[in-house]
Structure 1
């Protein structure tokens, strides 16, 4: 089933209007429609509206991190941003929260018109999942934020209350997700016709993401009860793993292709659905064209993190030889590298059927992002490949990392059930405690490496650096690209290179990260003006 992402007028009336000058404020009389909430179709339509808030392709937020660089410097990555006047990262989650609160408040009216309690709870569970989704996005960025659990009129004092503590917001997130886990349907029960809707395993997986973030953030930033969150992360991930609903797709490359779409790919847990064909284009994206022209180019730091097939990093493996041409980089490496980066001979675009070398005018790092590449889609200037937002591989990684962070160790049995399943798919030797000891490897760092390469260019790296409190170490470093092989790249574009002849995108002296400021985002200036009780985050 393709959920129809349609902004029908009634949904707009029901949901718009919250704490921002950018959003229309509507009095309560205008958002109460006596002709609505009279059937299951009504509440389903209201629930469908929340799906329009799911993130879209292409994923370009990795330019905030050390994994990708665009066509120019990024102010989040290099520390030069200023507090914005307005910010959709703040306003849009509150739009979604209002939509969810509206369903939770008014949805029960459908019971009077023959809708069963079970079906009502299903849609209320979707609303609570999306409310949790929105609040987590706010907590990640801003820490303490206003907690609003009901629809409000424009003069309500609660619109002008100070921010609630991070811990209180996270407790609501957990409560919402627990309700969702208990009342959403399984993927099996949803079946083909319900594919694309939030399932109970979606809520489990997302809870493991939230709890891992909060647990490691608390641990490394020395705030809150880290062990509590890490314990919850392990339990949520294990529940998803034990559900029997999900498994890994055999081909990593196909995860980002049409072959990875639909219920047949049990790795999919939460997807943003796009259209089916040119004649049934509900939604489409141009991810390949955006990435082709430099929206998120892989960096040397990311490429160097891919292991050799013997399970060792390039600085330790006897298999590694210094490349003398671009293709050498791919020899005896983790298969995910070739699935993530274009190499010579890969199918490419209409004007160049087979890839040759990265175009330094756009792919400025000398590495080219291969995600969502499809020559037919490129020719049509639109793609319908779905965007998998949560997949089972992340759940396995969440379990492994949370286990190690809580206990300071992880058994080989747990490594085999998580990290090594991913390594097997990638053609890389298994990780064990003995292997790590024999090769002077840090198991936690290897789990983090596995996360980096498995989830590469999917928008995780920046937030991982934030929660591990390593952004202050990694982000101020110079951003480097490929070795400048002049004979292959040519001289049409001559990049800046360092003393070792690697492409320099941004020098270290032009980058900074203030640990007393940059681990939280600045609140938009307009929000501070609208609500004098809000306080700007420290040092902004």
Structure 2
């Protein structure tokens, strides 16, 4: 399997370079155009380029209340300005859209069967939907471009499409992908990593949950319609029996969780199978986690339940810790898998972790997901980045069900969030448990999402769609308890409760009149007079 995976990774890397030239160059020569689009291998080579747009590791969690870096972040603290020029947030999705449109227009020239053609067109349409969702999340309304353009195309100055029109197109693209893509079982080991039928279904569920809850809590659009799509798409993935949770939560984010044998991963950004069998590498552990570019906050730490299923504010198991190790005592096992704690393997120059370095880890906490001593040493990790896991599908099903009905049955909890709680070694959630302990079911479902998907880039967008960013992002950024006998001497601000104060609330703001959408880059408005800046920017 490793040899086959190595071969496909190498071919994807080489063909992506060829496809990049053919897909992006304007104008294209007649020779390259006629000679390239002739066979299935040509279409597959062009499609391989689309996979290079899958996002790699990043520090997006610092936009939220889950993480803090070496310094304040202008998105989370509300101090950013409209950018003068477009960066990857705006340009990269449109580059992907153009590449997908190019394939959709030219792949039909190839001498292939209708089924083969539709399979690759389905991949292209999936990626077009992926790109447009990224734009809708950030900007709301943007121009809808469904064909390749040249410098004289009138569409270059087209007015933005409505949010509803964009969502309709995304759903249309994903529905085509669902019908025409192979199952992950049919893809097998050789084509592992390519987009499958359940990948399209799961991504549709993600899109629909975002839009359904955004509509519900921002009082716009047809929330029920989107939430129904989210629930049904998630249920289709569950019913497919193609996926299951991986046994070890920690190993999900290590080499042990790589490849087809891990049925939890639905979409991944692939790097390789070993230091000698790779195309891409990353240094996420050393460049981001160990050096403090992204550190967990007290807000995230406090969200992990005690083993009895109760939050720390209600559980008799909770005691104020007098040492760093006791922060993790009797907690959800996923906390120990996500946060570094005393005794964990760390790095070559410090093999065993004892306490976070406050010079780098400003919160006094350090993330553990993806931490690997060998990767720290080589700075060339090939651990894949999971982009969509079966766990997320279970969470989507639970949340969409609850938001549709303002209720969820115990049976529905057992087929979704309780499977995740079982893995986290936490007491199961039920309606009786919620009532007996004066809990809120919505908050418990949201809590489950937060801890299960921590450090995976979801929290900021959850705050946006739930319309609680205006409440959560204006709070002070707090860290760990300050254990004076453990932390090295450092200048640190503390609250009266002996908690590390990373950023005071006076330096944080969120304007609900404008900050729920991102600013359109100023140069894009200058290039297209029909573009209008989002309100307040």
Question: TM-score if structure 2 supplies the norm length?
Answer: 0.96
Cα shift at 1:278 = 2.8
1:185 to 1:499, Cα distance in 2 relative to 1, 3 A? same
Measure the CA separation in 2 of the matches of 1:28 and 1:221.
Answer: 45
1:348 to 1:440, Cα distance in 2 relative to 1, 3 A? same
1:232-290 per-residue CA deviation (whole Å, 9 max, x = no partner) reads 00010000000010000011001100111111010010001002333333100111102
Q: Does 1:148 align with 2:145?
A: yes
Cα shift at 1:501 = 1.5
Q: Does 1:79 align with 2:87?
A: no
Where do 5+ consecutive residues of structure 2 fail to align?
none
For the residue of structure 2 that corresponds to 1:270, the secondary structure is: strand
Do the aligned partners of 2:56 and 2:385 also contact (CA within 8 Å) in 1?
A: yes
For the residue of structure 2 that corresponds to 1:83, the secondary structure is: coil
The residue aligned with 1:221 is 218
1:406-426 per-residue CA deviation (whole Å, 9 max, x = no partner) reads 000000000000010000000
Cα shift at 1:404 = 0.3
The residue aligned with 2:98 is 98
Measure the CA separation in 2 of the matches of 1:323 and 1:266.
Answer: 38
Measure the CA separation in 1 of the matches of 2:99 and 2:49.
Answer: 8
1:157-210 per-residue CA deviation (whole Å, 9 max, x = no partner) reads 111011100110000000000000000000110001110000000000000000
Q: How many pairs are equivalent?
A: 527
1:459-509 per-residue CA deviation (whole Å, 9 max, x = no partner) reads 000000000000000000000000111110021x22111121111111101
1:368 to 1:166, Cα distance in 2 relative to 1, 3 A? same
Do the aligned partners of 1:475 and 1:513 also contact (CA within 8 Å) in 2?
A: yes
1:75-132 per-residue CA deviation (whole Å, 9 max, x = no partner) reads 000000001122211000000000000111111111xx2x111111110000000000
Stretch of structure 1 that moved more, 7-16 or 403-412: 7-16
The residue aligned with 1:21 is none
Do the aligned partners of 2:474 and 2:509 also contact (CA within 8 Å) in 1?
A: yes
Do the aligned partners of 1:303 and 1:337 also contact (CA within 8 Å) in 2?
A: yes
Cα shift at 1:389 = 0.4
The residue aligned with 2:503 is 506
Q: Does 1:5 align with 2:17?
A: no
Q: Does 1:428 align with 2:426?
A: yes
What pairs with 1:270-285 in structure 2 (closer than 5 Å)?
270-285=267-282
Do the aligned partners of 1:15 and 1:95 also contact (CA within 8 Å) in 2?
A: no
Measure the CA separation in 1 of the matches of 2:16 and 2:250.
Answer: 36
For the residue of structure 1 that corresponds to 2:351, the secondary structure is: strand
The residue aligned with 1:391 is 389
1:66 to 1:6, Cα distance in 2 relative to 1, 3 A? farther
Do the aligned partners of 1:65 and 1:462 also contact (CA within 8 Å) in 2?
A: yes
Do the aligned partners of 1:28 and 1:153 also contact (CA within 8 Å) in 2?
A: no
Measure the CA separation in 2 of the matches of 1:299 and 1:278.
Answer: 33
The residue aligned with 2:473 is 475
User: 4+ residue stretches of structure 1 with deviation over 6 A?
Assistant: none
Do the aligned partners of 2:206 and 2:396 also contact (CA within 8 Å) in 1?
A: yes
What pairs with 1:321-360 in structure 2 (closer than 5 Å)?
321-360=319-358
Measure the CA separation in 2 of the matches of 1:505 and 1:297.
Answer: 11
The residue aligned with 1:293 is 291
Measure the CA separation in 2 of the matches of 1:5 and 1:215.
Answer: 37
The residue aligned with 2:435 is 437
For the residue of structure 2 that corresponds to 1:276, the secondary structure is: strand
1:9 to 1:68, Cα distance in 2 relative to 1, 3 A? closer
The residue aligned with 2:305 is 307
1:360-415 per-residue CA deviation (whole Å, 9 max, x = no partner) reads 11111000110111111211121111111000000000000000000000000000
Measure the CA separation in 1 of the matches of 2:16 and 2:370.
Answer: 30
Cα shift at 1:6 = 4.1
For the residue of structure 1 that corresponds to 2:388, the secondary structure is: strand
Measure the CA separation in 1 of the matches of 2:87 and 2:70.
Answer: 22
For the residue of structure 2 that corresponds to 1:33, the secondary structure is: helix
For the residue of structure 2 that corresponds to 1:488, the secondary structure is: coil
For the residue of structure 2 that corresponds to 1:34, the secondary structure is: helix
The residue aligned with 2:255 is 258
For the residue of structure 1 that corresponds to 2:286, the secondary structure is: helix
What pairs with 1:137-176 in structure 2 (closer than 5 Å)?
137-176=134-173
1:90 to 1:31, Cα distance in 2 relative to 1, 3 A? farther
Measure the CA separation in 1 of the matches of 2:354 and 2:257.
Answer: 26
Measure the CA separation in 2 of the matches of 1:374 and 1:27.
Answer: 46
For the residue of structure 2 that corresponds to 1:344, the secondary structure is: coil
CA-based RMSD of the aligned residues comes to: 1.2
Stretch of structure 1 that moved more, 6-15 or 473-482: 6-15
Measure the CA separation in 2 of the matches of 1:417 and 1:278.
Answer: 38
What pairs with 1:363-378 in structure 2 (closer than 5 Å)?
363-378=361-376
Measure the CA separation in 1 of the matches of 2:423 and 2:222.
Answer: 35
The residue aligned with 1:125 is 122
Question: TM-score if structure 1 supplies the norm length?
Answer: 0.96
Do the aligned partners of 1:187 and 1:200 also contact (CA within 8 Å) in 2?
A: yes
The residue aligned with 1:521 is 518
The residue aligned with 1:22 is none
The residue aligned with 1:185 is 182
